[in-house]
């Protein structure tokens, strides 16, 4: 959220908001910002509503699709999405929608996993992702399938350079890819 450079009065849309963790972080950085979260699943929004109310965070939560945001063009100063873009059926369509709802000069910030990087670290991470995470996740939650999907969705998603070029193709400028944890995740930043 520090990279979002939020200022009082700005409007932020968090897509695929889930339980509202990024909204909580945005409120810490800018309590005077207008926060809106959108998610496809009402059950997740119900959890977000409880979390945000407990922290006395003013917000609006919308049950809806990230490729059809029920807001006019150029409605937001910032758009964020954390670990949700790879779960949108058509990520390119999602990026176009993010571009549509951002005001001129607005900023998009995407926090997302990337396929395993090359080299020894990437090989070890790939084994961990494909074999250890599904087993551990299955033991803890009873749903190995969900954690197998996690590894499949990460391995099948855009690599860093492809993601940057797709964002540029959609119309984002000054696109950056900030690596996290040795390149297993990135913060992608683009401006309108």
Domains in the chain, number:
2
Could you tell me which residues come within 8 angstroms of residue 54 by beta carbon, excluding any fewer than 6 positions away? Answer: none
Mean pLDDT of 180-185: 92
Q: How many CB atoms lie within 10 A of CB 70?
A: 11
- CATH code of the domain in which 161 resides: 3.40.50.150
The 10s digit of each residue's pLDDT in 32-72 is: 999 999 999 999 999 999 999 999 998 999 999 999 999 99
Q: What does the alpha-carbon distance between residue 107 and residue 74 come to, in Å, rounded to a whole number?
A: 11
What is the number of other CB atoms lying within 10 angstroms of the CB of residue 30?
20
Please tell me whether residues 51 and 21 are part of one structural domain: yes
Which pLDDT score is estimated for 13?
98
Residues 132, 71 within the same domain = no
**Among 20, 1, 10, which Cα is nearest to 106's?**
10
Per-residue confidence (pLDDT) for residue 21, from 0 to 100:
97
Residue 132 has pLDDT above 90, yes or no: no
Q: Which residues contact 144 (CB under 8 A, 6 or more apart)?
A: 134, 135, 137, 138
Same domain? For 132 and 177 the reply is no
Same domain, residue pair 108 and 130: no
The reply to whether 10 and 60 lie within a common domain is: yes
Q: What range defines the domain where residue 107 resides?
A: 2-114+157-191
Q: What is the dihedral of CA 160, 185, 192, 73, to 10 degrees?
A: 120
Tokens linked to 154: 């990460």
d(CA 4, CA 11): 11
CA-derived radius of gyration, the chain: 17
pLDDT at 146 over 90: no
Nearest to 85 by CA among 102, 98, 72: 98
Query: Is 146 found in the same domain as 63?
Result: no
For 22-36, 137-151, 160-174, 176-190, which range has the lowest pLDDT when averaged over its residues? 137-151
């Amino acid at each position: 959220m520090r990279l979002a450079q939020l200022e009082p009065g700005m409007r932020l849309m968090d897509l695929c908001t889930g339980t509202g963790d990024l909204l909580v972080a945005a409120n810490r950085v800018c309590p005077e910002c207008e926060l809106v979260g959108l998610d496809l699943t009402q059950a997740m929004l119900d959890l977000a509503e409880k979390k945000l109310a407990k922290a006395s965070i003013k917000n609006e939560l919308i049950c809806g699709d990230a490729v059809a945001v029920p807001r006019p063009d150029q409605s937001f100063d910032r758009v964020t999405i954390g670990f949700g873009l790879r779960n949108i059926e058509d990520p390119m369509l999602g990026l176009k929608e993010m571009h549509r709802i951002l005001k001129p000069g607005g900023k998009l910030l995407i926090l997302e996993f990337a396929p395993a990087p090359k080299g020894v670290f990437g090989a070890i991470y790939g084994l961990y992702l494909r074999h250890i995470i599904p087993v551990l996740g299955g033991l803890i939650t009873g749903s190995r399938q969900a954690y197998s999907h996690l590894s499949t969705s990460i391995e099948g998603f855009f690599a860093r350079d492809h993601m940057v070029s797709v964002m540029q193709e959609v119309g984002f400028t000054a696109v950056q890819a900030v690596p996290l944890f040795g390149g297993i995740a990135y913060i992608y930043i683009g401006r309108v």
